[in-house]
């Protein structure tokens, strides 16, 4: 299994951990709500700001304010390694205080220990920001280990190819990795993945070159687009089907991809976090974030959290709303059709001259299904290969072979990474439809129902 696979497996563990902490976090939310905010938020749906003015990883205020410091085993990274709260410390004093995460390895799984701190799963659209110190060299021991230093948001994976899963990552690899041999910052936005056999669906932008030192990181999640900024400069932009669809955890961690390049002894690496900031459903530029944070600090505010999940309607929620009608092929001008209007499981879905009958009346729902005659467009036998046929089958919302997303004018199946396709673009009645590598040509262009 790849290290990326191990990385994604950890989302399931995070989901279980979040569930276990729910009573504590609810109490924390009540406590926070009873404390007046130190600064008002112009627009948006509340803000989180934390200056990390804590004494240690066991400081009761951490849990009271919704933070979880990870311990135990599990991914991402080296199998058999562990996570330790003692690897999270707080350094400096006053406004110079920061959170430090450390990871060390002696080249064995048992001697490999990482660090992670995460907040509640309640952050969705809006602006995410943090000031982070990345490091290129270990503070002790030999250099060369593939260490990953991060700031990210993530929705836990409920099942393989879960369409509700999402992730927005800022990951710095000072010694390279994931195909890079030099220091690289990876900006990655995820739609979903399958752990076994491994298959990922994401868009990733690598920025090659050392960025050791303090940096201002900003992510904007708004209007179907995720933008990544480094020190005020936009370095990546992703959208389309990878856009997050559900609330995410907010987290920082540091860990090792593998142990293959370790040269002996114990090596210890670190990253620091000055502050974290989020404004829910408010789009802020990096300069506006800096002004907001400066204002909070000038007012003597070390922490405020008025972000409450589900209390505010997103300003620009992701589409797809329900639409109903004919689905017309861009290549043939014919309609997506259920053979002989037969609603039995396994009935072929084909092209046919548009006639306005129920066999050609499709509904594309917010759950990602395409429905006709009370059943769903389904990839036969959970097929993922080019040429896998599509059929009609009982609906099971969330099932990987019945989930479709709009990508331009195409319908894309995230589980296979392939698109609904009219073979060779032929304008022939009873032409059976299939999935095929997405090329965006006319054979894969289809109207929205009723458009």
Give the residues across from 408 on adjacent strands.
none
Q: Give the torsion sign (CA, 369, 193, 243, 335).
A: negative
Q: Is residue 451, in this structure, part of any structural domain at all?
A: no
Tell me, yes or no, whether 239 lies in a domain.
yes
Query: Do 237 and 341 share a structural domain?
Result: no
Is 316 within a domain? no
d(CA 90, CA 96): 10
CA distances from 237 to 157, 188, 429 (A): 23, 9, 41
**Residues 264 and 168 grouped into a single domain:** yes
DSSP codes joined into one string, 383-423: --STT-BEEEE---TT-GGG--EEETTEEEETTTTEEEE-G
Last residue of some domain: 270, 305, 340? 305
Does 233 share its domain with 328?
no
Question: Is 318 domain-assigned?
Answer: no
Here the CATH number for the domain that contains residue 351 is 2.80.10.50
389 and 296 in a single domain? The answer is no
Position 164 scores a pLDDT of 85
153 and 80 part of one domain = yes
pLDDT at res. 163:
83
Return the pLDDT at 187.
96
Residue 373 domain boundaries = 323-444
Classify the phi-psi angles of 167: left when phi > 0, otherwise alpha if psi is within -120 to 50, otherwise beta: beta
Same domain for 337 and 289: no
How far apart are the two ends of the chain, measured CA to CA in Å? 43
User: Within a 10 A sphere around the Cβ of 97, how many other Cβ atoms?
Assistant: 17
* Residues 295 and 334 reside in one and the same domain: no
The answer as to whether 424 is a domain residue is yes
Question: Do 240 and 121 belong to one domain?
Answer: yes
End residue of a domain, out of 305, 337, 367 = 305
Predicted pLDDT of residue 439: 74
Q: Are residues 206 and 268 in the same domain?
A: yes
CATH number, domain at 109?
2.60.120.200
Same domain, 261 and 383: no
Q: Are residues 209 and 63 in the same domain?
A: yes
pLDDT along the chain (451 residues), means of 10: 39 35 33 32 74 96 97 94 98 84 98 98 95 98 97 92 91 96 96 87 94 98 92 91 91 97 97 97 92 94 86 44 81 91 96 94 86 94 94 87 81 86 91 88 85 64
b/e map 384-416, b = 16+ CB within 10 Å: beeebbbbbbebeebbbbbbbbbbeebbbbbbb
pTM exceeds cut of 0.75: no
Q: Which of 271, 305, 339 is the last residue of a domain?
A: 305
**Phi, psi for residue 357 in degrees, rounded to 5:** -85, 170
> Quick one: 290 and 363 in the same domain?
no
Query: Which residue do the tokens 């179907």 mark?
Result: 224
Residue 317 belongs to some domain of the structure: no
Q: What is the domain count for the chain?
A: 2
Residue 313 lies in a domain: no
Query: SS3 breakdown of the chain: % helix, strand, coil, rounded to 5?
Result: 15, 40, 45
């Amino acid at each position: 299994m790849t290290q990326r696979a191990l990385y994604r497996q950890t989302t399931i563990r995070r989901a279980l951990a979040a569930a276990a902490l729910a009573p504590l976090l609810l109490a924390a939310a009540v406590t926070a709500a009873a404390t007046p905010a130190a600064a008002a938020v112009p627009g948006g749906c509340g803000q989180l700001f934390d200056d990390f003015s804590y004494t240690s990883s066991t400081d009761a205020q951490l849990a009271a304010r919704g933070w979880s410091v990870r311990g135990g085993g599990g991914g991402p990274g080296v199998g058999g390694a562990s996570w330790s709260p003692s690897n999270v410390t707080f350094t400096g004093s006053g406004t110079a205080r920061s959170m430090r995460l450390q990871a060390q390895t002696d080249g064995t799984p048992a001697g490999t220990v990482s660090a992670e701190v995460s907040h509640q799963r309640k952050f969705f659209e809006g602006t995410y920001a943090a000031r982070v110190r990345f490091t290129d060299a270990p503070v002790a021991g030999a250099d060369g280990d593939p260490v990953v230093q991060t700031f990210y948001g993530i929705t836990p994976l409920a099942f393989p190819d879960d369409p509700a899963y999402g992730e927005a990552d800022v990951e710095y690899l000072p010694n390279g990795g994931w195909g890079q041999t030099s220091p690289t910052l990876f900006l990655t936005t995820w739609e979903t993945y399958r752990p076994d056999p491994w298959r990922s669906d994401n868009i990733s932008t690598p920025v090659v070159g050392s960025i050791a030192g303090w940096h201002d990181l900003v992510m904007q999640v708004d209007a179907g687009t995720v933008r990544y900024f480094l020190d005020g400069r936009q370095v990546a932009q992703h959208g389309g089907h990878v856009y997050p669809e559900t609330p995410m955890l907010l987290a920082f961690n540091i860990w090792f991809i593998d142990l293959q390049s370790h040269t002996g002894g114990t090596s210890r690496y670190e990253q620091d976090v000055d502050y974290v900031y989020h404004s829910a459903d408010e789009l802020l530029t990096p300069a506006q974030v800096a002004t907001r944070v400066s204002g909070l600090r000038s007012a003597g505010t070390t922490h405020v959290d008025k972000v409450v999940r589900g209390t505010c309607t997103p300003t620009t929620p992701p589409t797809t709303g329900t639409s109903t009608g004919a689905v017309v092929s861009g290549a043939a001008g014919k309609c997506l059709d259920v053979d002989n209007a037969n609603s039995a499981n396994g009935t072929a879905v084909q092209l046919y001259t548009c006639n306005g009958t129920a066999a050609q009346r499709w509904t594309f729902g917010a759950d990602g299904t395409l429905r006709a005659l009370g059943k769903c467009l389904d990839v036969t036998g959970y097929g993922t290969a080019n040429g896998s046929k599509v059929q009609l089958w009982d609906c099971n919302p969330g099932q990987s072979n019945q989930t479709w997303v709009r990508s331009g004018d195409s319908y894309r199946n995230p589980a296979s990474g392939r698109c609904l396709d009219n073979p060779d673009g032929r304008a022939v009645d009873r032409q059976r439809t299939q999935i095929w590598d997405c090329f965006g040509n006319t054979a894969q262009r289809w109207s929205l129902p009723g458009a």
